[in-house]
């Protein structure tokens, strides 16, 4: 067959698999794959460096379908090129329970799905992290081992979402020239024409952010090819604005929002079969076309073999380190480093804020774990995220270890997820706990994907003082604890902070948030214990003098108050124990026996946390006493606001005694 004709048929195979799968599932989005099939075909047959037989090859190019609703485009490509996880049965079971071909691409369901997309804009924002991680790994391991592109297909929706602004300005600033974004410029979204809601000149917008931009006809394979050749040579990230027609080939629905998100129906599909002269039954791909696709999927094997040869010839130490990092294993000896540091803390008993404890722990960690990449959304001095090892990453300077993300919490969180997903890197980044709201969509996706991204959230209560209620988190701990598969740590002192960091680093399939104080806290773990007690999520920090009449549960900065309250109660003859609760989710993972023992049978149970009550009933029951916040905070000194809201040892002791005598 003539090469051009074959290319067209290969693109058509994507279209029909997508149409047929959506039709069979009775739901899904046929329009995007139909409009972008040429782009995908050029990319996957001529440019993308991959070997379908080895989808985890670390130096593969990444392809990110940011417009996740067009998932059938990706599934078709993975099937056609011969990725092992997606066979024709998976295509036939698109969107069915238990299939790998979920409604939107889900990371972990099938190799070749590099990230979870669906919430528009996330994939584009992840891609900044992928592209940055590639540069960082390249700087550390050299051209022989690391040199690949990150390709993105984004829709109008991705570009309208706010996170895209954070992502593109960060990528432009860092001159991530191996990032190449296709914009599926079809002028249509769900409500109708994009012009209903947006008139942005997107190329000018990207250009203003320092991008290389091109405008092409997205159905023209020569223009696509030419654009990709130029993009690969760019010294800046590239936007290829590709004019397309949504649902291309559907006789009446093409170019309209009717092709966006529902099955086309038998008549339209029959019309499309005529339009493309496609005479095959649903899900049937002509043998020569499937063969051509499979050949494309295997074509990268030689590049992979060349890479393997370079890898085998590399310095053995470098190789061991590369493998360790790509596999996400911590360095041997890490536990010993933490143990030594905990001994030192037990001797020193520092009275510092936990944000400072976190910095001190990071100084030790960053010295021992070269894959950590720190950062902050313009609050470096407040989040205490920078250590002596972490000089600034900047355009062309990718060998360093600190990212000034700018005031881009959402973009930072999404980029960190991209770095984690890329592999070889453990990113952590900071902002105020209150502004976790600005990062939350990506924090949730980190949990859904089950990846090790670490969020450092300081100024974790009204204790931050005079900045007032806009900055004082109240519901944030509860809101973050509500996310499944997310470890929310609230350490009480330097030892707990170190233990929580150790757990966050060891937690390969669950992201972590460390909630840290601005105010100084005394050391409460004054004896060295080898075991990581925070691992239990909750543990008895102070035993009662006799059979406990009272148990006080608290976290973080309120442990100091809990211990003082227990002192008052003990003084009045009420045996009181204090349980530190650094992490709800880890506590739930303990045995029933452990949980029952830790919760105990004291007559009065109290929880103290300078946040809302939500979640604490698990510890104190519906009739427990809660000392904490019942509404928003107030601007004032820490000495004023804690008493103002009744969060003191005296208030707690008084409430307990009223109950004991009542």
Closest CB to ligand TPP: residue number: 155
Cα dist from 359 to 337, 353, 366, 400, 428, whole Å: 16, 10, 10, 18, 12
List the one residue from 246, 478, 487, 549 that touches ligand TPP (CB under 6 A). 246
Q: Does 123 bind ligand TPP (CB under 6 A)?
A: no
Q: Other C-beta atoms within 10 Å of 531: how many?
A: 11
The encoded tokens of residue 287 equal 């043998």
Query: Comparing C-alpha atoms, which of 68, 96, 97, 93 is closest to residue 79?
Result: 93
Quick one: 158 or 214, whose CB is closer to ligand TPP? 158
Contact 512, 586 (CB under 8 A): no
**Segment interacting with Mg ion (CB under 5 A) among 179-187, 202-210, 216-224, 437-445:** 179-187
Q: Does 375 bind ligand TPP (CB under 6 A)?
A: no
Q: Does 157 bind ligand TPP (CB under 6 A)?
A: yes
Closest CB to Mg ion: residue number: 156
The encoded tokens of residue 564 equal 């003082």
Quick one: 29 or 148, whose CB is closer to Mg ion? 29
Residue 150, helix vs strand vs coil: strand
Q: Does 120 bind ligand TPP (CB under 6 A)?
A: yes
Rounded Cα distance, 644 and 465, in Å? 12
Q: From the list ligand TPP, Mg ion, none, which binds 8 (C-beta under 5 to 8 Å, kind-based)? A: none
β-strand 520-521 against 539-542: which pairing, if any? unpaired
**Segment interacting with ligand TPP (CB under 6 A) among 183-191, 382-390, 405-413, 493-501:** 183-191
How long is the chain? 662
Sign of CA dihedral 565, 568, 572, 578: positive
Quick one: 125 or 652, whose CB is closer to ligand TPP? 125
CA atoms within 13 A on the CB side of 273: 17
How is residue 630 annotated by DSSP? S
List the one residue from 58, 105, 118, 465 that touches ligand TPP (CB under 6 A). 118
Q: Does 633 bind ligand TPP (CB under 6 A)?
A: no
**Which helix (H) or strand (E) segment is 240 a member of?**
strand 238-243
Query: Comparing C-alpha atoms, which of 244, 284, 248, 245 is closest to residue 268?
Result: 248
Minimal distance, residue 11 CB to Mg ion, in Å: 19
Minimal distance, residue 450 CB to ligand TPP, in Å: 21
Q: Restricting to residues 28-47, which ones interact with ligand TPP according to CB under 6 A?
A: 31-32
List the one residue from 156, 166, 460, 609 that touches Mg ion (CB under 5 A). 156
Quick one: 362 or 414, whose CB is closer to ligand TPP? 414
Sheet holding 604-609, edge to edge: 539-542, 576-580, 550-554, 604-609, 625-628
Q: Does 186 bind Mg ion (CB under 5 A)?
A: yes
Query: Comparing C-alpha atoms, which of 504, 379, 438, 418 is closest to residue 130?
Result: 418
Residues 6+ apart with CB under 8 A from 127: 62, 64, 66, 150, 152, 167, 171, 179, 181, 418
**Segment interacting with ligand TPP (CB under 6 A) among 19-27, 150-158, 216-224, 285-293:** 150-158
Q: How many helices (H) and strands (E) does the chain have?
A: 26, 20
Minimal distance, residue 120 CB to ligand TPP, in Å: 4
Q: Does 67 bind ligand TPP (CB under 6 A)?
A: yes
Q: Does 543 bind ligand TPP (CB under 6 A)?
A: no
Q: Among all residues, which ones are annotated catalytic?
A: 409
List the one residue from 25, 154, 170, 188 that touches Mg ion (CB under 5 A). 188
Q: Restricting to residues 68-87, which ones interact with ligand TPP according to CB under 6 A?
A: 69-70
Residue 183: Cβ-neighbour burial (10 angstroms; 0-12, 13-18, 19+): buried
Quick one: 198 or 229, whose CB is closer to ligand TPP? 198
**Which helix (H) or strand (E) segment is 133 a member of?**
helix 122-141
**Segment interacting with Mg ion (CB under 5 A) among 149-157, 213-221, 316-324, 597-605:** 149-157
List the one residue from 28, 58, 105, 119 that touches ligand TPP (CB under 6 A). 119
List the one residue from 71, 150, 186, 212 that touches ligand TPP (CB under 6 A). 186
Minimal distance, residue 588 CB to Mg ion, in Å: 42
Please, what is the Cα angle at 311 between 150 and 229, to 5 degrees? 30
The encoded tokens of residue 208 equal 């203003």
**Segment interacting with ligand TPP (CB under 6 A) among 81-89, 113-121, 499-507, 519-527:** 113-121
Residues that bind Mg ion (CB under 5 A): 155-156, 186, 188-189
Residues that bind ligand TPP (CB under 6 A): 31-32, 67, 69-70, 118-120, 155-158, 161, 184, 186, 188-190, 246, 260
């Amino acid at each position: 067959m003539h090469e051009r004709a074959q290319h067209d048929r290969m693109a058509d195979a994507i279209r029909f698999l997508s149409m047929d799968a959506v039709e069979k599932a009775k739901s899904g989005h046929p329009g995007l794959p139909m409009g972008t099939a040429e782009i995908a075909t050029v990319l996957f047959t001529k440019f993308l460096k991959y070997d379908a037989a080895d989808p985890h090859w670390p130096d593969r190019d990444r392809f990110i379908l940011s417009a996740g609703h067009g998932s059938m485009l990706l599934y078709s490509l993975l099937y056609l090129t011969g990725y092992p996880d997606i066979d024709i049965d998976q295509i036939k079971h698109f969107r069915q329970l238990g299939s790998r071909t979920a409604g939107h691409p889900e990371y972990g369901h099938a190799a070749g799905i590099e990230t979870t997309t669906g919430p528009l804009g996330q994939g584009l924002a992840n891609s900044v992290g992928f592209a940055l991680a590639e540069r960082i790994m390249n700087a550390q391991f050299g051209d022989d081992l690391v040199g690949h592109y990150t390709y993105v297909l984004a829709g109008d929706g991705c570009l309208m979402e706010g996170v895209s602004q954070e992502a593109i300005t960060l990528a432009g600033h860092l001159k991530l020239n191996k990032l190449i974004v296709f914009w599926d410029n079809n002028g249509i979204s769900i409500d109708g024409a994009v012009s209903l809601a947006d008139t942005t000149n997107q190329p000018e917008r990207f250009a203003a952010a320092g991008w290389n931009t091109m405008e092409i006809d997205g159905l023209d394979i020569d223009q696509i090819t030419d654009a990709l050749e130029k993009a690969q040579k760019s010294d800046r990230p590239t936007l290829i604005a590709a004019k397309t027609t949504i649902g291309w080939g559907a006789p009446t629905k093409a170019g309209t929002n009717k092709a966006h998100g529902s099955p086309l129906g038998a008549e339209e599909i029959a019309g499309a079969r005529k339009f493309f002269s496609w005479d095959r039954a649903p899900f049937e791909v002509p043998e020569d076309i499937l063969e051509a696709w499979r050949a494309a999927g295997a074509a990268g094997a030689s590049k992979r073999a060349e890479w393997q040869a370079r890898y085998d010839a590399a310095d053995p130490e470098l190789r061991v380190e590369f493998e360790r990092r790509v596999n996400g294993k911590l360095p041997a000896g890490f536990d010993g480093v933490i143990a030594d540091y905990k001994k030192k803390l037990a001797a020193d008993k520092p009275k510092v804020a936990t944000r400072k404890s976190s910095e001190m722990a990071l100084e030790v960690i960053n010295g021992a774990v070269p894959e950590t990449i720190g950062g902050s959304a313009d609050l470096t001095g407040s989040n205490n995220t920078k250590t002596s090892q972490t000089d600034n990453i900047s355009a062309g300077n990718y060998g360093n270890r600190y990212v000034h993300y700018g005031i881009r919490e959402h973009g930072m969180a999404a980029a960190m997820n991209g770095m984690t997903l890329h592999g070889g890197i453990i990113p952590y980044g900071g902002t105020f706990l209150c502004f976790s709201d600005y990062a939350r969509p990506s924090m949730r996706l980190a949990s859904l994907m089950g990846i090790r991204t670490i969020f450092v959230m300081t100024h974790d209560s009204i204790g931050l003082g005079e900045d007032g209620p806009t900055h004082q988190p109240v519901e944030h701990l509860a809101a973050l604890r509500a996310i499944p598969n997310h470890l929310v740590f609230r350490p009480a002192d330097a030892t707990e902070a170190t233990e929580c960091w150790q757990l966050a680093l060891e937690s390969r399939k669950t992201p972590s948030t460390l909630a840290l104080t601005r105010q100084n806290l005394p050391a409460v773990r004054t004896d060295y214990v080898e075991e990581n007690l925070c691992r239990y999520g909750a543990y008895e920090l102070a035993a009662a003098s006799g059979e406990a009449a009272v148990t006080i549960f608290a976290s973080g900065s309120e442990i100091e108050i809990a211990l003082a309250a227990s002192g008052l109660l003990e003084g009045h003859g009420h045996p009181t124990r204090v349980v530190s609760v650094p992490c709800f989710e880890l506590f739930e993972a303990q045995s029933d026996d452990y949980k029952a023992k830790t919760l105990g049978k004291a007559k009065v149970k109290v929880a103290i946390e300078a946040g809302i009550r939500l979640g604490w009933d698990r510890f104190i029951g519906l009739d427990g006493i809660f000392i904490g916040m019942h509404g928003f905070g107030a601007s004032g000194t820490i000495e004023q606001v804690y008493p103002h809201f009744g969060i003191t040892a005296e208030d707690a002791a008084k409430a307990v005694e009223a109950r004991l005598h009542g």
